[in-house]
Structure 1
Amino acid sequence: MEWLSTWDVWHWLMLGFGLLIAEIIVPGIFLLWWGLSALVVAGLMALFPALSFSTLSFIFAILAIFLSLIWWKYQRNRDYLDDQKTALNQRDHAMIGAKGIVEEVSANGIGRGRFGDTTWRIKGERLQIGDTIQVQSVQGITLNVKNVL
């Protein structure tokens, strides 16, 4: 059982490469950071062979958690920005800037407009049937439009 507490450089290398291979098999960008941490610890052990197993294990744990949190924060910000730019499954937001024709209008400025082969609920000022309109913004299921001259 003594071999469990006396790791050499190659033990850390095997752990690091094992985790990297596991990341390839089970993708998720989580084991990558733990594997890289093990490789860094192997490098530290090669440079400073007097470091104890407990010190190296502590460095490994702190580094793995730190790298995982840094990646999580980076990816979370990137996902948020991607969600802001995408129009995937948000056809109403993809309609901004689209031009159409007013088909129906009521007294309060709400009506229906045709955009391609689809009609949408629209809201705008001084709309008349047959006017060409352009989508300015989206509020729920209503397209806010303005007349295009």
Structure 2
Amino acid sequence: MLERLFAELGPWNWIVLGLLLMILEVTAPGIFFLWFGIAALIVGGFVILLGEAFPFGWQVQVILFLVLSLIAVFIGRKLVGATDAESDEPLLNRRGEQLIGQIVTLEEATVNGRGRARVGDSLWRVTGPDLAAGTPVKIVGIDQGTLRVEAL
């Protein structure tokens, strides 16, 4: 059935697929379907330009589409994707890093380098020198959700 569909539509199946993917991009934005649409249009263009000179069957056209899709996605991500724009609040979703430099009080004594400190209304695990409960400490870093502290 798939072979019959490809044979009947010829190169226009790629053009139609490319346009449908681009329309889908407009209705579901995210700059994802665009690259697949471009790849389908390129394959359709190759098949139309080469016509009967295109020596391969629909299987090679599909492989060409997949390869061009990957290339288009990689190029698209470089052009549009991951921008490293500076933020006015670079630590917005990094609560632990926001705490660095603050002075807090140990809620539980640090024994063998481990204890707990109250930061606002929550308790955080801390690592640092052995100190008694109630000792003020300065947060100097964070390591996998555990605050590193040192005595004042």
**Which bin holds the TM-score, normalised by the shorter protein?**
0.5 to 0.7
Q: Which residue in 2 is equivalent to 1:64?
A: 65
Distance in 1 between residues matched to 2:112 and 2:5, nearest whole Å: 82
Q: Describe the shift of the 1:57–1:34 C-alpha distance in structure 2 as closer, same or farther (beyond 3 A).
A: farther
Q: Give the alignment partner of residue 138 of structure 2, picking from 125, 130, 133.
A: 133
- After the TM superposition, which segments of 4 or more aligned residues of structure 1 sit over 6 Å from their partners? none
User: Structure 2 matches for 1:1-149, cutoff 5 A?
Assistant: 5=7, 7=9, 10-26=12-28, 31-52=33-54, 55=56, 57-69=58-70, 71=73, 88=93, 91=95, 93-94=96-97, 97-104=100-107, 105-128=109-132, 129-139=134-144, 142-148=146-152
State the number of aligned residues.
Answer: 135
The question of whether the paired residues in 2 share the 8 Å contact of 1:100 and 1:113 is answered with: no
Report the alpha carbon displacement of residue 125 of structure 1 after superposing the two structures with TM: 0.9
Question: Over residues 32-91 of structure 1, what are the superposed CA-to-partner deviations in whole Å (9 max), with x where a residue is unaligned?
Answer: 444222211222134323335x7263343113322444548x97xx99xxxxx9874x74
Q: TM-score, normalization: structure 2?
A: 0.57
Structure 1 alignment gaps of length 5 or more? 80-84
The question of whether the paired residues in 2 share the 8 Å contact of 1:101 and 1:133 is answered with: yes
Structure 2 alignment gaps of length 5 or more? 83-89
Report the alpha carbon displacement of residue 18 of structure 1 after superposing the two structures with TM: 1.9
Identical-pair percentage: 33
**Two-structure CA RMSD over aligned residues (Å):** 4.1
The question of whether the paired residues in 2 share the 8 Å contact of 1:97 and 1:136 is answered with: yes
SS at match of 2:125: strand
Distance in 2 between residues matched to 1:24 and 1:40, nearest whole Å: 19
